[in-house]
A and B are shown apart, each in its own frame.
Chain A
Amino acid sequence: MKDGISDNGQRRARLVDLHSWLGLLSCWVLFVAFFCGTLALYDAEITEWMQPEIHLTDMQAPTESALAAVTQRLHAAETHGGALPFLILPNARAPAMRLVHYDGHSFQGPVLDPTDGHEILARATEGGLFFFDFHYTLRLGQIPGAACVALAGFGFLILLLSGLLIHLRRLLPDLFKLRIKAPRPRFWLDAHVMTGVFGLPFHLILTVTGIILLGDLALPMRAPPAPAPQAAPNGPATPAIPLGRLIHTAEAVPGAGRARYVLFAPGVTTVYTEHAGALAEDSTALRLNSQTGALLPTAPAGGADRAASLIYGLHMVRPVGPVLRLVWFIGGSIGTLLIASGLLYYEARSSRRALDRRRTAAMARGNVAIIAGLMLACLAYFWLNRLLPAHWAGRAQAEVSGFFLAWLATVLFTALRPMPCVPARLWCWPLRLCGATSLTLGLYDALRFWPGRHDLSMPVFITVDVALMVIGTGILLAQHHRARRANGTLSAT
């Protein structure tokens, strides 16, 4: 019996060690992936907010004249021998048409009005796609960036499992206990357990599907056999018949759904359709002869394809409606809070127990640099979008550089600052700056863009600006409260 108890205690101690050390190793990467991935759920809306020059008053399908303008642009690109762009058709989330190409990080290209096809001179930006790219590559490419995120994903699954086993006995009693006035380690542990258990389905779904999406790096396998070559007619990539007719032919196929993207290749135009509101990423690719408009044979999707579509859809949630997207956003936010509260718990516990002072200081500095630094970097990215000249050629790259420079500045500020008596004081200035920049950005934007704006993007502007103001005010208030508590702790000692 005694042996049994001590054995259980040893097991629990080993699990705690695993949870702590793996958490320390992977949580900073996981925080970046969760924070930016959650923002990326609204990538189209963020891009719309970052391009205020787009004023569209009606949501409408592209007209024949607009598609004719696309065909002309495509013909010009083909004649000049450049990379062929592809067409993103308007939908409820992004009412403008885009003729884009992939530059290795995001999709760049002109924004077109779906009523007549004229180019809207919107400011160049990577918009919300920057967060999408950054959350899984860390802007470092497949190796080491995506590989690092894939390994951190495995780490997160192990953390979830070990965390559940550690707290299994007291899971239900602790679930609804958020002791706000308790000492900091207890408060952060309560928050950690609560966010971990409440968001468990989302943590599992987002992590498992994310690892599968990065499967080539996480669990490499031999390349699947190439599909049998499909008969493809030769000819120019620019369709010889009206593009609208090709799209209409594709949409008329039973069960195809609504056209979303159009890809152009020599002799073949591929229309990707999707079912709005579906959870699975089941975009159907319909190949058409670009010279005759005839539908080319396509292999039917099997059971494995449908299952894989569901797995991808559960991570990307692209065609889903606004309610489900909001649910996923809340799930992602809870995941971000789970990771942040775990890091802050460890920092507070180390500080309270007066463990190795250098380790505590390094942990505190790292937390400020990653958590506050990332928030500041995002706000710098948004501020630069508003401050840089709208039609400056290098502005998209400058915004991204500004993001990393702001982050670097926070890292340097945190690393070089003398360690205060209470490590929590390290948070003061970065958090104050976060709150102030967020609040002022929301106010500036409301004053600059709200008056006289009556277009489809107005709800997006109101939502983002109000969210910035609320977040800014919340951070400033929380920081004020935190500073008072830290001063109280200091005077008590």
Chain B
Amino acid sequence: MIRRNGMGVRIVTSVAAYGAVMLFCAGLAATLPFLTEAGQALIRLGGTLAVPGLIVCVFLARSWASVGLPITALAAGGAVLLVMAG
């Protein structure tokens, strides 16, 4: 259970959440070769809204599964997209 851990773990997880969103946005932008600066701004809009939501979820979560899985999935998805884009 995540609640047994102190704030330190949650802070580290929050940083990981920010990194995962960053990775996913970068991956998404990289796989769309036609994306202009304006298109990137729209992806950033999604990322900007996702980061605080995810971090607050980290502080509300009771179990690792409820936050760890989405964060890992986001990071993995971003990494796959980046690899696909070369």
A binds B: yes
Binding site for B on A (CB under 8 A): 7, 10-11, 14-15, 17-18, 21, 154, 157-158, 160-162, 165, 208, 211-212, 215, 218-222, 224-225, 227, 302, 304-305, 307-309, 311-312
Q: Which residues of the partner chain B approach A162 to less than 8 Å between Cβ atoms?
A: 56, 59
Q: Which 7 A-B pairs have the closest CB atoms?
A: A308-B38, A157-B52, A221-B29, A304-B38, A308-B41, A215-B44, A158-B52
A-B contact pairs, 25 of them (CB 8 A): A7-B3, A10-B3, A14-B7, A14-B60, A15-B59, A18-B10, A21-B7, A154-B48, A154-B51, A157-B48, A157-B52, A158-B51, A158-B52, A160-B52, A161-B52, A208-B49, A212-B45, A212-B48, A218-B48, A219-B25, A221-B29, A222-B26, A225-B36, A304-B38, A304-B42
Q: What is the distance, in angstroms, from A164's C-beta to the closest C-beta of chain B?
A: 9
Shortest CB-to-CB span from A417 to chain B, Å, is 33
The CA-CA distance from A14 to B6 in the complex, in Å, is 10
| Minimum C-beta distance from A148 to chain B (A) | 15
Beyond the given A15-B56, A311-B45, please list 13 additional residue pairs across the A-B interface where CB-CB is below 8 A: A10-B3, A11-B59, A18-B59, A154-B52, A158-B52, A161-B53, A162-B59, A208-B45, A212-B41, A215-B40, A221-B40, A225-B36, A311-B41
Q: Which residue on B lies nearest to A165, using beta carbons?
A: B56
Instruction: Flag whether B80 is at the interface (Cβ < 8 A).
Output: no
Quick check: is B74 within 8 A (CB to CB) of the other chain? Answer: no
Q: Residues 4-26 of chain B: 1 if any A CB is under 8 Å from the residue's CB, otherwise 0?
A: 00010010000000100110011
B83 CB, nearest partner CB in chain A, Å: 13
Q: A14-B10, A307-B38 are in contact. Are A221 and B26 (CB under 8 A)?
A: yes
Number of inter-chain CB pairs below 8 Å = 103
| A470 CB to nearest chain B CB (Å) | 36
Q: How far is the CB of B74 from chain A (nearest CB, A)?
A: 13
Of all chain A residues, which has the CB nearest B57?
A161
How distant is B81 from chain A, measured CB to nearest CB, in Å?
11
> Which of chain B's residues has its CB closest to A159's CB?
B52
Contact B48–A161 (Cβ < 8 Å): no
Min CB distance A153 to B, Å, is 8
Q: What is the distance, in angstroms, from A25's C-beta to the closest C-beta of chain B?
A: 11
With an 8 Å Cβ cutoff, the count of chain B residues facing the other chain is 35
Q: Say whether A211 contacts B48, CB under 8 Å.
A: yes
B64 to chain A, nearest CB (A): 15
Tell me the bound Cα distance from A212 to B25 in angstroms: 13
Chain B residues within an 8 Å CB radius of A157: 48-49, 51-52
Q: How far is the CA of A308 from the CA of B33 in the complex (A)?
A: 18
Q: Which residues of A contact B47 (CB under 8 A)?
A: 219
**Chain A residues whose CB sits within 8 angstroms of the CB of B56 once the complex forms:** 15, 18, 158, 161-162, 165
A10 and B5 alpha carbons, distance in the complex (Å): 12
A225 close to B60 (CB less than 8 A): no
Q: Across the two chains, which residue of chain A brings its CB closest to B34?
A: A225
Residue B71 interfacial (CB < 8 Å): no
Distance from A301 Cβ to chain B, minimum over Cβ atoms (Å)? 8
Distance in angstroms from B77 CB to nearest chain A CB is 15
Inside 8 A of A215's CB, which chain B residues have their CB? 40-41, 44
Q: Bound state CA distance, A220 and B21, in angstroms?
A: 11
**Minimal Cβ-Cβ distance residue in B for A150:** B48
Contacting residues, chain A, for B29 (C-beta < 8 A): 221-222
Complex contact A304–B52 (CB within 8 A): no
A311 to B43, CA, bound (A): 12
CA distance A305 to B36 in the complex (A): 8
Contact yes or no, A14 B51, CB < 8 A: no
